[in-house]
Amino acid sequence: MRLLVRSCSYNRMNVTRLIARGVVLAGIIVSVLGVIGAFAQMGYSAKTPLVYAEQSAIPLAISIVVFLVGMWFEVLAAALLGLGALAFIVWGIVGGWDLGIWTMMAVFIIGPLLLSGVLYLFASQTQRVCELEEKATAKDAPAVS
């Protein structure tokens, strides 16, 4: 298989974009449910779901911004996702998480952040290769008069 060969494949580019966006969308759901679950686990009993919605607004907003940035600026989205993963790693070191918390954060937050960031980079690279191949093809094509 020629997985590492730089060649234009619109199908591969579209699939990596879709998976990256899907992981970010899943991250939106996980972050909101994670905040709601954390507050419920800590004993905060809300009489209305709006109390939990207020607490999950910040991770929800960050996730939506990253999703929207990824729609047009894939390299920037990959950088934001990488910085997000780094922020969680630093938070874990500073916070002194135990092994269980590290495992949960790695599986549900850090891993998906890195996965979608790498997929955004792959899609961006494939798009650049396709643009270069199209430019070379257009340059080599005979002019029709």
Helices (H), the chain: 10-41, 49-55, 57-72, 74-95, 99-105, 111-140
Q: Is residue 5 part of a domain?
A: no
The mean per-residue pLDDT over the stretch 131-144 comes to 74
Query: Where in the sequence is the domain holding 34, given as residue range(s)?
Result: 10-131
CA pair distance 46, 39, nearest whole angstrom = 9
The 10s digit of each residue's pLDDT in 86-118 is 998 999 999 888 888 888 888 888 888 898 899
Report the pLDDT value the prediction gives residue 4, as an integer from 0 to 100. Answer: 59
Q: Is residue 53 part of a domain?
A: yes
Report the pLDDT value the prediction gives residue 13, as an integer from 0 to 100. Answer: 80
Q: Is residue 97 part of a domain?
A: yes
Q: How many domains does the chain have?
A: 1
The mean per-residue pLDDT over the stretch 7-33 comes to 81
Report the pLDDT value the prediction gives residue 1, as an integer from 0 to 100. Answer: 47
- Residue (of 14, 33, 35) closest to 25 by Cα position: 33
Mean pLDDT across the chain? 80
Q: Is residue 78 part of a domain?
A: yes
Report the pLDDT value the prediction gives residue 100, as an integer from 0 to 100. Answer: 87
CA pair distance 120, 18, nearest whole angstrom = 9
